[in-house]
Amino acid sequence: MFFPTALRPRYAKWLIATGLFLMLSGCVDKPNTLERVKEDGVLRVITRNSPATYFQDRSGETGFEYELVKRFADDLGVELKIETADNLDDLFDQVGKPNGPVLAAAGLVSSEQRTKQVRFSHPYLEVTPQVIYRNGQSRPTEPGDLVGRKIMVLKGSTHAEQLAELKRKYPGIEYEESDAVEVVDLLRMVDEGQIDLTLVDSNEVAMNQVYFTNVRVAFDLGDARSQSWAVAAGEDNSLLNEINAYLDKAQKNGTLQRLKDRYYGHVDVLGYMGATTFAQHLQQRLPKYEQHFKTYAKKEKVDWRLLAAIGYQESLWQPAVTSKTGVRGLMMLTQNTAQAMGVSNRLDPKQSIMGGAKYLAYMKDQLDESIQEPDRTWFALAAYNVGIGHLDDARKLASREGLSPDKWLDVKKMLPRLSQKQWYSKTRYGYARGGEPVHFVANIRRYYDILTWVTQPQLEGTQVAEGNLHVPGIDKSKPAQEPAPL
């Protein structure tokens, strides 16, 4: 090609500029993981389908891990998309795959083997691995007692790694790893005597105890360990740094504690005997009154399972009981409360349940608008027990201590002070047995959780819902319309 002499310098400069532009364009970094998440507007997360991590009930998606990671997605300003893994090996394989999940949130514990596949975040929950056996069988008390027992654990779990380590010291230990089961299946198999032992983390044992009344904790296998989230291996720290900052903030601002309190803060209120008794009463007593709970809960726009949980806490679903203080009936109403709610016969279970439903709705209506759900329900329960005046006193004490008067986690710390003169002398309504509403709410939350889990659609027809004592007297036909969930 021929160019006039005068144009050649200009053409050379153009070539150089173009070359530099192309070189620089080739050096532009690809977007990192965090940038891609924000550009796509979606946070893809993989988890396990279990009560302790993620599941769906009639009110939608829920679970400890789900709620924690949903808040993270909201902080990022992106949509959360959840997928569940068939097993732990699949979960770790999927993290970081093209167009796949960028984060695993599934109650994961770091181990030497796992750190070869993924990188772990800062911890957010401590759990202890526990050896589980069946009541009535010989209780193992140390690792050597595992020899000769039929043991099964989740395939790819840190529990399997623990057993592999123990086997080097005790060659007689034999165990099976299965990817066809979840924790609830392992507990059921111990409960029914299909296997002798399993290993499960303490939080999941406590959460599922009520369904499997024959399971017992033999001993803790090692020290407490931390659960963390996991991201893909590599040098891209963008998402991991953001996760760590979020978890640190959640720890500092109380979000983590509130979630722990919601899911695990009341798991020990039943105990072994209480779990067995409750399971029996689900079958033998609840069916007699279930329709009354549903009818009046719908009328007052409260959750029927919450109303049933109050009834169990008050009377163990017994209509003719009377306390030393004169409260009577299935919902244990005082004479004044019964009259105010239009109850003429407190020993009539139908009237008692009607009165309890109206009184709970009344308590919720009396609360300040600043109190939002789910705290509003816990406050209403406390007021149901101790009275709205004493509850207001505790809220004022919380404010004086720099705590939130609208958060149950904060106010429940103040309620016991109402029985101490140095505190109640400074309140409007004076002395109250302030510890009682704290236990009252904790117990009802536990009963409510159990009723929620055993009536959720995905449990219907499963072995968990249909095995032994675990079927409540539940009408499985879905009501035409249910009150708004908590």
Give the catalytic positions in this structure: 314
Q: Tell me the CB-side half-sphere exposure of residue 150, using CA atoms within 13 A.
A: 9
Beta bridge partners of 120: 230
Beta bridge partners of 119: 231
Phi, psi of 458 (to 5 degrees): -70, -15
223-256 burial, b if ≥16 CB within 10 A, otherwise e?
Answer: eebebbbbbbeeebeebbebbeebbeebeeeebb
Residue owning tokens 């002070």? 417
Contact residues for 49 (Cβ-Cβ < 8 A; gap 6+): 55, 84, 182
What HEC string does 430-454 produce?
A: CCCCCHHHHHHHHHHHHHHHHHHHH
- CA 149: distance to chain centroid? 32
Q: Tell me the CB-side half-sphere exposure of residue 226, using CA atoms within 13 A.
A: 9
Gyration radius from the chain CA atoms: 28
Phi, psi of 268 (to 5 degrees): -100, 5
**Closest to 486 measured CA to CA, from 361, 374, 366, 367:** 374
CA distance 146 to 139: 10
Question: Which amino acid appears at position 279 of this protein?
Answer: A
